[in-house]
Chains A and B, each alone.
Chain A
Amino acid sequence: MNKNGLTYTILFSFVITFIFVFLLALANVSTLGIVEENAQVNEYRAILSAFGIEYNPLDNQDIIAKYGQIQKRESPEGPYYEATIDGETAYALPSTGSGLWGTIEVVMGVSGDLTRFTGLTVITHNETPGLGGRITESWFTDQYVGQRIPENGQLGMTSGDGAGDPNKDDDSIDAITGATRTSDSMKAIVASALARMKTIVGGNT
Chain B
Amino acid sequence: MSQTKDILKNNLWDNNPILIQILGICSTLAVTNLLSNTLIMTLGVSFVTALSSLTLSAIKKLIPRKVRMIVQTLVIAFYVIIVDILLKAYSPEISKNLGPYVGLIITNCIIMGRAEAFAQSNPPGLSFWDGLTSGLGYMSVLMLIAFVRELLGFGTLFGYRVMPMAFTSGGYNWTIMVMAPSAFFLVGILLWISKSIMLKNETGGKK
Contact = CB atoms under 8 A, between A and B. Distances in A.
A129 B99 CA distance: 13
Nearest to B174: A130
B171 A42 contact: no
A131 B82 CA distance: 33
Given A129-B178, A131-B175, A34 B90 contact: yes
B63 interface: yes
A163 B165 CA distance: 8
Interface of B is mostly: helix
Interface stretch (B71-79, B117-125, B188-196): B71-79
Given A27-B82, A130-B175, A9 B67 contact: yes
B103 interface: no
A12 B63 contact: yes
A13 interface: yes
Interface residues of B, number: 33
A128 B153 CA distance: 12
Contact of B92 (A38, A131, A179): A38
Given A31-B85, A131-B178, A16 B74 contact: yes
Interface residues of A, number: 30
A86 interface: no
Interface stretch (A17-25, A87-95, A142-150): A17-25
Interface in B37-87: 59, 62-67, 70-71, 74-75, 78, 81-82, 85-86
A28 B85 contact: yes
Instruction: Tell me the dominant secondary structure on chain A's binding face.
Output: helix
B73 to A, nearest CB: 11
B75 to A, nearest CB: 7
B154 interface: yes
Given A8-B64, A12-B62, A13-B67, A130 B88 contact: no
B32 to A, nearest CB: 11
Interface of A: 3-4, 8-9, 12-13, 16-17, 20, 23-24, 27-28, 31, 34-35, 38-39, 42, 128-131, 161-163, 176-179
Given A16-B71, A27-B82, A27-B85, 12 more contacts: A8-B64, A12-B64, A16-B74, A20-B78, A24-B82, A27-B81, A35-B85, A35-B88, A130-B33, A131-B178, A177-B170, A178-B171
